[in-house]
Amino acid sequence: MNAIVIEKNGGPEVLKLADVPKPTPKAGEALVKLEATGVNFIDCYFRSGLYKAPGFPFTPGNEGAGTVEAVGEGVTNVKPGDRVAYAMAMGSYAQYAVVPAWRLVPVPADVSLRDAAALMLQGMTAHYLVESTFPLQRDQTALIHAGAGGVGLLLTQLAKAKGATVITTVSSAEKAALSKSAGADHVINYTETDFAPEVKRLTEGKGAHVVYDGVGRTTADGTLDSLRVRGYFVSFGSASGLVPSIDPQVLNAKGGLFLTRPSLAHYAQTPEEVAWRAGAILHAVRNGTLKVRVEREYPLADAVRAHEDLESRKTSGKLLLMP
Ligand code: NDP
């Protein structure tokens, strides 16, 4: 089968198309014939070495949707022929992947496998951020960085569905329009405007109850200055680089702030939790309250270009590889 293989850390050019043996599911696993594979920043982190690879060579990719082709011993939740989707199992930049069966969720007949692949990782992330990490309430204000990004567009819609006021940051007028159309109440172009004073102005000097910050290095200081007393700094990603260390005394000086650095892995711990989050996201897509925006589809062989595009900061929404 065709798969992308990484033999050493580096730039997008280390993503090589290779012919590798089709994997066989072991006990508890299912073999999935992938129709679409999501491209995520976490794939760039494993590729570059920011996150430690499982060993070399390895096939990247943590999200996909397709049809179950075979199951290993003891698997009862899925069977060959089932349409399924998943996130957080490495190896989806390929025509086939073996996946722990408990991570698979059924894809309803009226949701395309393409949309399901586009939703699993970023959608479940948006879900845990607003439901669990900082359960957002109506009458609260959230600041969401990179509001026109893959997570940003979904997170904005879920935050608005909860009745919160949403402020986003973006880097261009085109992205501002997209963020607005996802429901953002206020959009700040943070390449032109210092966002922290603007957030304070928009909140009558108080600041946001929570900042969902997936940008990291370049926004961290401003994030701390955008929060109200006892606000939550939810640092969930590093698109611009790692957040420098934060002295707890800074959290005191800026108002008894809370800081957390969550990952979907911490919020998708059991089959029940995965079913809850994925089910809620798929339900929201089916009833029209959540729109998924696929920015571009690439053949598997163009994984290099997909990574270049994601890291270039030009994309809005989801990038998919079509194996
Ligand atoms: P996006 O589509 O949001 O792309 C990243 C965006 O970050 C860019 O479009 C850009 O938006 C902004 N950005 C700001 N500075 C930079 C920079 N120097 N280089 C690149 N991008 C920059 O990606 P995703 O939706 O896939 O991921 C968003 C973040 O969420 C990532 O940090 C990712 O790691 C994190 N994440 C975390 C998860 C978790 O569970 N913790 C799970 C999923 C994603 P703009 O041009 O508007 O500034």
Residues 174 and 148 in one domain: yes
Q: How many domains does the chain have?
A: 2
- For the whole model, what pTM was predicted? 0.97
* Atom 12 of ligand 1, nearest CA residue: 146
β-partners of residue 227 are: 208
- The pLDDT tens digits for 6-47 are 999 999 999 999 999 999 999 999 999 999 999 999 999 999
Residue of 37, 40, 195 to mutate, ligand 1, most atoms within 8 A of C-beta: 40
Residue of 236, 311, 312, 316 to mutate, ligand 1, most atoms within 8 A of C-beta: 236
Which domain, by its residues, includes 190?
Answer: 138-261
* Atom 33 of ligand 1, nearest CA residue: 237
The Å distance, Cα 298 to ligand 1 centre, comes to: 19
Residues 22 and 103 in one domain: yes
Segment 68-80 shows an average pLDDT of 98
Residues 208 and 296 in one domain: no
Q: Show which of 261, 291, 312 is a domain's final residue.
A: 261
> In this structure, is residue 27 part of a structural domain?
yes
Residues 148 and 221 in one domain: yes
> In this structure, is residue 278 part of a structural domain?
yes
> In this structure, is residue 128 part of a structural domain?
no
The Å distance, Cα 68 to ligand 1 centre, comes to: 31
Segment 206-211 shows an average pLDDT of 98
Predicted local confidence at residue 136, as pLDDT: 98
β-partners of residue 294 are: 318
Q: Give the long-range contacts of residues 261-264, CB within 8 A, separation 24 or more.
A: 261/235, 261/236, 262/128, 262/129, 262/133, 262/234, 262/236, 263/236, 264/87, 264/88, 264/121, 264/124, 264/125, 264/128
Residue of 45, 125, 130, 215 to mutate, ligand 1, most atoms within 8 A of C-beta: 215
**Which atom from ligand 1 is nearest to the alpha carbon of 191?**
48
- CATH label of the domain that carries residue 100: 3.90.180.10
Residues 34 and 115 in one domain: yes
Residues 236 and 297 in one domain: no
Closest to 195 in 3D by CA, of 246, 139, 144: 144
**Which atom from ligand 1 is nearest to the alpha carbon of 147?**
47
Predicted local confidence at residue 193, as pLDDT: 98
List ligand 1's pocket residues with C-beta within 6 A.
40-42, 121-122, 125, 146, 148-152, 170-171, 175, 214-215, 218, 236-240, 262-264, 311, 313, 315
- The pLDDT tens digits for 119-139 are 999 999 999 999 999 999 999
Average pLDDT, the chain: 97
The Å distance, Cα 296 to ligand 1 centre, comes to: 16
Residues 300 and 194 in one domain: no
- The pLDDT tens digits for 261-320 are 999 999 999 999 999 999 999 999 999 999 999 999 999 999 999 999 999 998 999 999
The Å distance, Cα 146 to ligand 1 centre, comes to: 6
Predicted local confidence at residue 219, as pLDDT: 98
Predicted local confidence at residue 5, as pLDDT: 98
Q: Show which of 243, 261, 279 is a domain's final residue.
A: 261
**Which atom from ligand 1 is nearest to the alpha carbon of 151?**
25
- CATH label of the domain that carries residue 193: 3.40.50.720
Residues 76 and 167 in one domain: no
**Which atom from ligand 1 is nearest to the alpha carbon of 267?**
40
- The pLDDT tens digits for 100-117 are 999 999 999 999 999 999
Backbone angles phi, psi at 322, to 5 degrees: -110, 95
Segment 158-168 shows an average pLDDT of 98
The Å distance, Cα 147 to ligand 1 centre, comes to: 9
